[in-house]
Amino acid sequence: MEKHFKIQFSLVIFLMFVLGIVSIYFLENLYITTKHMYEHPYTVSNKLKEIKISVHQIHLSTLAVDELDIRDIGLEDANNRKNLNIIAAQYLGDQQDVTKAHELYDKWLSKKVYDSDSTIENEQVIFEQLLQAIEFLSLFADNKAISFYEQAKKEAQSYPLYIGVFLFVAAIISFLLLMRTLKELASITGHRKQYLNLIDQNVMIAAIEEDSRVFDISNRLSRFLSKRKSDLIGDQFKDIFFAADDNQFEEMWRRVQSGATWHGDVQVVSNNTIRWLGIDVLPMQTAGSEYSGFRLLASDITSRKSLEKISITDSLTGLLNRRSFDETLERQTKLAARNKLLLTVAILDVDYFKQYNDTYGHIFGDKVLTNIAAVLSKMLARPDDFVFRIGGEEFCFLFNSNTGDESRAYLEKIRQAIQDLNIVHSQSEVHQYVTISIGAAFFEGAHIADGKALMSEADDNLYRAKEIRNHTVQSVYGQL
């Protein structure tokens, strides 16, 4: 499309250029014709008139005065000869006519002024012939001037007509090109509106001002958020997309304000439903490279997150499974070491669970596991608490505490909470209700710790706890 615009614009410029050249050509011809009229016929005619007047003056002066003033006649003669030379140069007719007039002038002046023996009759005959020759030249010059004038008049009438016709044709072509261009622009505008509408209806995109307020948002993203577009414009960006995670917002905000892009997965809640967006935040700059807010591109990743959750969660209890345990343990161990926190790794096992399944059946055994999972999820609900089902009746959980005594007290609280479920277990050898045994290890963040070593020590402590049953065994890593 841009190529077509360039071609059409070039064509219009070419037409204007040709029109200018044609106009200059016509004006130049008119100028040349007028110039010829003034340079040749008018010049010859004026000079002949001067010669004719001068000849009559010389003739009269010789009749009225007995003694001639040779000096005055000489001046007149010099001027006449100069004019004859000009006439010879500018005359457009037969040069022999000019030569004849020149010869007659010489002959007449010689007889009139210098030849005292010449008769009056002979001098008068030559004088009449000279006047006739001058008149002949004057008549030719006047006719030639009239011819040039008629030609100039004709050109002055026809050239504007030619220019007008060409200008009319150029205007018609330009108008057609203009209409075609306007039609193409209208088509482009229509396609652009359709394109923008497609984006608005199908692409999750938003524009954010420097103060983090939303000043534009697509209908597709508005529908995903279950809100009207008008209700979202002017709201704080953080309240819409990062309400559940202040730390994530601060990280994103630092990056985009430094001019970098940011990508992350964001959890949003709409109509009490948790959904996920994959978000790219791109800083925007003005032509002067000044920060001017940013754009947000989002995609619905709820299905992917659901699949990820399925792959890392236990289908029975909804807790994280063994697949995600190793990665989480390693990450939390390093985080505790860096922040100098006290991390507790604990493994619990349901006491005499095989006997429970044999007595009440696996369906009721599954209910025991789900009840335990519910208690653990409720008691370990902080952002840095993690609960896993690592197999059968074994659960593992991680949490931070301030001291070892605080950790022991909380583990005991968890053990007691499971017992307080009052789930009857007639085949238990330690209690009438379902109980658990816990083996745990913790380390202080000032020391370098290995997550697998902590897990191994917690597992050893679980073995000791199971020897006692319904009990908790905990140790500081490296110190039994």
Minimal CA–CA distance to 344: which of 380, 398, 388, 395?
398
Contacts by 182-189, CB closer than 8 A, 24 or more apart: 184/1, 184/4, 184/5, 188/1
Chain centroid to Cα 412, Å, comes to 64
Task: Cite the DSSP H helix spans in 203-317.
Answer: 219-224, 229-232, 237-241, 246-257, 302-312
Helix 70-90 to helix 95-109 angle (10° resolution) is 170
Contacts by 39-42, CB closer than 8 A, 24 or more apart: 39/90, 40/90, 40/91, 40/92, 40/141, 40/144, 40/148, 41/92, 41/141, 41/142, 41/144, 41/145, 41/148, 42/141, 42/145
pLDDT number for residue 25 = 67
SS3 356: helix
pLDDT number for residue 413 = 95
CA distance 36 to 142: 13
How many CB atoms lie under 10 A from the CB of residue 310?
10
Going across the sheet that includes 291-300, the strands are 214-217, 204-208, 291-300, 273-285, 262-270
First to last CA, the chain: 80
pLDDT number for residue 26 = 65
Domains of the chain: 2-178 (1.20.1330), 204-301 (3.30.450.20), 313-476 (3.30.70.270)
Q: Is the distance from CB of 33 to CB of 154 less than 8 angstroms?
A: no
Minimal CA–CA distance to 317: which of 216, 208, 395, 416?
395
CA distance 321 to 394: 11
pLDDT number for residue 480 = 38
Which one-letter amino acid corresponds to residue 285? Answer: Q
Minimal CA–CA distance to 433: which of 368, 349, 362?
368
Which one-letter amino acid corresponds to residue 145? Answer: A
pTM over 0.85: no
- Which residue is it, tokens 């304000």? 257
Tokens of 118: 């010449």
CA distance 261 to 297: 11
CA distance 90 to 146: 16
- For the chain, residues with pLDDT lower than 70 are 1-6, 8-9, 11-12, 15, 19, 22-23, 25-39, 63-69, 114-121, 152, 155-157, 159, 285-291, 305-311, 445-449, 477-480
